[in-house]
Amino acid sequence: MSDNLPTFSRFNVGEGGSELECLPYGVHHGDEGVCLLVRMGPHRILLDCGLADISQLQSGLKQPLPADLVLCSHAHPDHAKSLLALHHAFPLLPIYASEVTTRLLPLNWSDIEQIPQFCQALPLRSPVEFQSGLVAELFPAGHLPGAAAILLTYTTARRSYTLLYTGDFFLSNSRLVEGLPLEELRGLGPDVLIIEGSYGTARHPHRRSQENQLAERINQAIAASYSVLLPTPTLGLGQEILMLLRSHHNFTGRDLDIWVDGTVATGCDAYLELLSHLPASVQNFARHQPLFWDERVRPRVRRLQMEQRRTVGKSPCIVIADKTADLSEYCQPDTGPWLILLPEKPGHAVDTDLHTVSPLSSLRRTSVETYLLAQHSDGPGITQLIHNLRPQHVVFVHGSPTYLADLTSLEELHNRYHLHTPAAGTLVELPIGDIFLQPAAPETNYEGELNELGTVVTITLPDAITADPRWRSFADTGLVEAHWQGEELVLRGLSQRELLNQNSDRFISADLNCCGTCRFRRGQRCGNPASPLFGFKVTPEGYCPAFERLSEEPSGDSA
């Protein structure tokens, strides 16, 4: 660590030069976790502490404490696992997180009996002044219940400096946590954005299709008399999969046992304690049936006892276990065959070799596959967030170096922002220009979200859609009509006029852009090779982006 000392001492001086600096102790390029020291004027703020050990924070200290305060983004170990050690080493160092995070944090030290209540809860969306001129505010970040993006504001007589740290973030809604509400942060214009880049520029299928793929694979395995073993972290993915299995049409009502083992079961208990903080749709679900432990409603969700591990796979079932568990305990020679499903790890090949999956390679009749059920935003989500925030500096952390390099080489980013991908121990100076003229953000496609829970389907549209002047006439009557058009579901608003005309033939206004007024309509079918609907039967009120208006003269080419 002696290499770092010049940087450290310089950082601790904090005089002259720029008002903002970031010294990363850990950037999570591999498995080292995130820990970032940020200086804003005289204030030193430590963001997350996911290091394996805190020796870096203890060595060469010129002041009694390594920071003035600590803010933790969320309860995952790569952001939080050394907070307890930090508290023991520096009991006077104040540590803060969202309320839900403070309640999930103890799961990081499940082997310790008495964990002091060392982390203080901060409310969401309310600025808190910690020291004169230093304010912090938390915003929900998606990804995991309690996960927060942290906005720091440092105010001098001359101007204010702002820094937003995303922690881990996810724009999409998951089953148990709503996505980062982009509209709350749009146009924020922080001077500095520190953002995670886990998935680099990768583009993911829509969350719904990721879920369906996983559900379908599990379904096939059970049908082929396999048991399915899903090793997951304590918090997040395991509970998401449970919720998915409980509400997916492939599984609802099926005579099937889903067993939950180890700390994942403890994680479920922790979620149950936090029910009032979970999305309204989940609270509604929980009013009709238990969220997790349920012996009555099929598929049954049950807590696995240690002595059941060796026998549970004698008939096909699903087991959700700790990712650190010895999987051979479940895959016994006298059980049925097993399918082990491992989550894909962005930027790292997942080793599906049985010898490394289980130390005892006695796993006969066992196969290993991977699946994607992302908990972080993909490349388009990352760039979407950046363009919506419009910072001067973007600091990428949390991702493999190659994935982060993919992001910094994107023209749409390096043309507009100062980009940084620091290694651990490298000081990043963040000079802030008084006048920052930024080119406009590129046009983006806005995607909506589909949520299906029980019999209710909710479609969430981004506010860019609803802010459009066309939304007014679309939503005029509050009624929509939905119908299938080939493989696509078409939604259209019903106008007052149509409601009045409901008893007569369906009314197609001549100035409506739809198949009924499109020059490529041939009889009841689409005749435009450029359209996704080409050759399909279309209804007059259908629409696709290849629409072209029928000329004013009646065209004679409809033969």
| Shortest CB 167 distance to Zn ion, Å | 7
C-beta closer to Zn ion: residue 168 or 322: 168
Q: Which residue has the tokens 């390029």?
A: 29
> Mask 139-168, x = binds Zn ion (CB under 5 A)?
-----------------------------x
C-beta closer to Zn ion: residue 168 or 257: 168
> Is 378 among the residues that bind Zn ion (CB under 5 A)?
no
Contact region with Zn ion (CB under 5 A), list: 70-78, 269-277, 279-287, 307-315: 70-78
| Shortest CB 50 distance to Zn ion, Å | 7
| Shortest CB 168 distance to Zn ion, Å | 4
- Are the C-beta atoms of 304 and 259 separated by less than 8 Å? yes
C-beta closer to Zn ion: residue 44 or 76: 76
Within residues 74-113, the interface with Zn ion by CB under 5 A covers 76, 78
Contact region with Zn ion (CB under 5 A), list: 72-80, 337-345, 347-355, 356-364: 72-80
Q: Which residue has the tokens 């589909």?
A: 450
| Shortest CB 62 distance to Zn ion, Å | 30
Q: Which residue has the tokens 């709350």?
A: 184
C-beta closer to Zn ion: residue 399 or 542: 399
C-beta closer to Zn ion: residue 168 or 240: 168
C-beta closer to Zn ion: residue 96 or 330: 96
Determine whether 550 is exposed, middle or buried from the number of CB atoms within 10 Å of its CB (0-12, 13-18, 19+). Answer: middle
- Are the C-beta atoms of 36 and 397 separated by less than 8 Å? yes
- List, in order, residues 6 or more apart from 308 with CB less than 8 Å away: 259
Q: Which amino acid is at 38?
A: V
C-beta closer to Zn ion: residue 208 or 345: 345
Q: How big is the site for Zn ion, counted in residues (CB under 5 A)? A: 3
Helix (H, G, I), strand (E, B) or coil at 343: strand
- Are the C-beta atoms of 481 and 517 separated by less than 8 Å? no
C-beta closer to Zn ion: residue 35 or 526: 35
Return the closest-CA partner of residue 78 out of 356, 375, 319, 320: 375
C-beta closer to Zn ion: residue 76 or 175: 76
**Distances, alpha carbon 555 to alpha carbons 511, 550, 558, in Å:** 16, 7, 7
Look up residue 162 and give its two tokens. Answer: 């702002």
Q: Which residue has the tokens 């929900």?
A: 140
3-state helix, strand, coil in the chain (%, to 5): 25, 25, 50
Sign (positive/negative) of CA torsion 319, 322, 328, 330?
negative
Residue 453, strand partner residues: 456
Q: Which residue has the tokens 């700790």?
A: 322
Q: Which amino acid is at 311?
A: T
| Shortest CB 224 distance to Zn ion, Å | 34
Interface ranges with Zn ion (CB under 5 A): 76, 78, 168
